[in-house]
Structure 1
């Protein structure tokens, strides 16, 4: 049986700078967190796993699908929720935004319209049907993106810090929606509290796996190291 997530010696450089260095792992847990500092390679890894960046070396397979090579199968297998929904939403109405992914799966307009109705009904948002996107709050836009992904029924969803920048009530509400998701979740975050209840956490540092294991162990070590770094002055260092 194919594993939900397999990275085989994955490396990637962008604009001449090495970002990911020979990442290798196999994961079958339903809730996996990836933690690390800003600039550690987390978001790049998220895009590689979602098939948006092809690695320079190595291979990413989700449930046996090579997401970089088989894009048709990839869109049925994985979805990604970005930190900023304005970078994800491309249509002016709720219906069009959700329907787009369904038509990419080959559904007719009538089938996609039914899919839109069903996902809005499932989330108790039937009154959003026909609504314009631009007046929605940031949290509402993030929920719209999540519904658009879930309507496509991917087997794995990559969350690239979707709770960052939201106020506490909105974070709590979106977290409740995420908790009901049946698909496998791979949640990227620099905030250990976000990942505390996850089945497994992988700590990424400088594009490499620093530690991998149960959430309590990895997050404990990560917090200790962040506190150590907080007592230093590496913010003064210039790149290069």
Structure 2
């Protein structure tokens, strides 16, 4: 197995009685991987499965050798996920509590977790956020809190589910620059092909299956053409 890779073997996954994936297999080891597809194609479900938040009915899914659905402690060091809406992720009132929580789940004593959380805040130039109430921050700032909380746990992979939605242009550019600077491997879902045009690999998911998989300059033109054709076929 490729060191640090995501290994998906004959994955079968159902949600609320609907089969999303039926025998999906992928091996993903590139540093920057984009995932595109229309709404309801299974993109977000795939990300949640890779993060270990959804257990498959059959097949195997490992990240950096960790069975993320069964080994939750190991999953925290293998993969982190940032949801589209940071309010669906933040669970504590203050920034320091939010950053320290995952570290405590990894087994760090509370004092150590808080010190590492403070170091992360200082790294991003926001030491003054320690006692800030999360709900008083802007959406872009709350997304940064979520990113810092994930980075503090030092996972091998970081997954992003439409991180640019609802952000103004400056905030979106800041998030894009932070993603580009990450040392971790990245998998990013987006509706905007331009966001992943410079990535190492793009996977196009259509109705729970891989419609195309390869370099962006091969996958993205086919994806855009298919979406344009679908738009023309639908009544206004």
Q: Please tell me the TM-score bracket, short chain as reference.
A: over 0.9
* Cα drift, residue 27 of structure 1: 1.5
Q: Which runs of 5+ in 2 are unaligned?
A: none
TM-score, length of structure 2 as denominator length: 0.96
CA distance in 1, matches of 2:104, 2:65: 24
- The residue number in structure 1 matching 2:196 is 195
Q: Deviations over 1:175-227 (max 9, x none)?
A: 11111111111111222111111100000000000000001111111001111
Contact 1:3/1:27 (8 A) holds in 2: no
- The residue number in structure 2 matching 1:138 is 139
- The residue number in structure 2 matching 1:152 is 153
Contact 1:4/1:63 (8 A) holds in 2: yes
CA distance in 2, matches of 1:178, 1:109: 28
**What is the CA RMSD across the aligned residues, in angstroms?**
1.2
- The residue number in structure 1 matching 2:41 is 40
Contact 1:3/1:26 (8 A) holds in 2: no
CA distance in 2, matches of 1:60, 1:91: 30
Q: Does 1:16 align with 2:17?
A: yes
CA distance in 1, matches of 2:169, 2:138: 14
- The residue number in structure 1 matching 2:180 is 179
CA distance in 2, matches of 1:107, 1:77: 16
* Cα drift, residue 91 of structure 1: 0.3
Q: Deviations over 1:134-183 (max 9, x none)?
A: 11111110010000000000001111112112111110011111111111
4+ residue stretches of structure 1 with deviation over 6 A?
none
Q: How many residues align?
A: 235
Q: Which runs of 5+ in 1 are unaligned?
A: 236-240
Contact 2:73/2:105 (8 A) holds in 1: no
Q: Deviations over 1:24-69 (max 9, x none)?
A: 1112101011110011000011100000001111111111111112
TM-score, length of structure 1 as denominator length: 0.95
Q: What SS is found at the alignment partner of 2:19?
A: strand
